[in-house]
Structure 1
């Protein structure tokens, strides 16, 4: 099990201590990078942890939850790379954020920015975010988003061609179609990741209901057409219903 991409606990603590924490900012989901985002506001989850406590909590959460996520991955998939690589994105100025992506060999990567680690109120929040991002990989959301983007590009390009559009119009239609296709089910993907992330978090011994309280601190995206994230109330509800099912 690889921990923090060769960054040890002391390195994380040192980096956190030197890092000026930026508020979390929401942003569009990328085709190949499902994301969890939020914003530092006054909420119901208590005060932020100290820098040292946040770093220690993050290391402990990774050690505890990663093997559970890998076990769920192996049990739920066939032929998928389940060797998660949990890393810290220590680039300066990054907002509080976490995302899941793949390396060139198809290995799943879950990255946390220093600002997100420092913004945590408790270990349950860190665990829920990690479980959510691991769930994106287990559910195959990157591949499914790419397929949706390709389908959208083909459909929009076909419409532009039939409408007599020139090469520039067809290319523009392809780009628009890819964006629309990628966004078409992104809210469903987020709810799927919330549900499976709840299971992973609970099986690792953490409290998903307490972890999901960070939804009370972040801006509510509402139910916008082709929005990338569902309303916060829907996300909290799916966590509660999944926990009831457990």
Structure 2
């Protein structure tokens, strides 16, 4: 019995994912080692194989500091070409190379201390101080989030280009995700701003 159309698409998406990982991961690791000192650059690419999750990819580190770039099936199956997948992979790897997780934690800590201090000086009760600390941590964590996303777009453009992909074509992925606009304390910049960074960076590379 032959494979269904859905199975064929899934198999094609899986092959494309493996090919992109094989091309992008070594470039990301090479760039990580060239641009950082003391940072673990041994990327691990993992897949969340739950089929009921909305498209998503993110970067984190394990308890030993090894960088992890995670994709779920929703994202792997939703990209329209290898360029889009390579751009997303380069973007997430760039977050680690720019050490954004550490910087976000530091911003959250500063925000928590500042807000709690203001509440304490104003004579607030213990519960109010705790709430202010939590709010401060949230505000602090988002203080540079838009800037970090644009930095990751810029470096992700370079990574995907050096891996042999077209980052401008890859950034077309933005056109199919909700545009966050320029909301106060939003975590992501407007899609138009992100695309502009990609185009400008690609032009600087002669693409």
What TM-score range do you get, normalising by the shorter chain?
A: over 0.9
| Counterpart in the other structure of 1:131 | 90
Would the alpha carbon gap of residues 122 and 92 (structure 1) be closer, same or farther in structure 2, given more than 3 Å must change? closer
| Counterpart in the other structure of 1:224 | 183
Task: Tell me how far apart the structure 2 counterparts of residues 69 and 163 of structure 1 sit (CA, whole Å).
Answer: 48
Secondary structure of 1:124's aligned partner:
helix
How far does residue 141 in structure 1 lie from its aligned partner after superposition?
Answer: 0.2
Count how many residue pairs are aligned between Structure 1 and Structure 2: 200
| Counterpart in the other structure of 2:99 | 140
- Equivalent positions of 1:24-173 (< 5 A) are 50-173=9-132
Cα contact 2:55–2:78 (8 A) shared by 1: yes
| Structure 1, unpaired ranges of 5+ | 1-15, 18-48
Using structure 1 for the length normalisation, give the TM-score.
0.80
Task: Tell me how far apart the structure 2 counterparts of residues 177 and 135 of structure 1 sit (CA, whole Å).
Answer: 26
Using structure 2 for the length normalisation, give the TM-score.
0.94
How far does residue 219 in structure 1 lie from its aligned partner after superposition?
Answer: 1.2
Secondary structure of 1:224's aligned partner:
coil
| Structure 2, unpaired ranges of 5+ | 1-5
Query: Among residues 147, 152, 177, which one is paired with 2:136 in the alignment?
Result: 177
With a CA cutoff of 8 Å and minimum separation of 6, indicate the structure with the bigger relative contact order: 1
CA root-mean-square deviation: 1.1
More helix by share: 2
| Counterpart in the other structure of 1:213 | 172
How far does residue 92 in structure 1 lie from its aligned partner after superposition?
Answer: 4.6
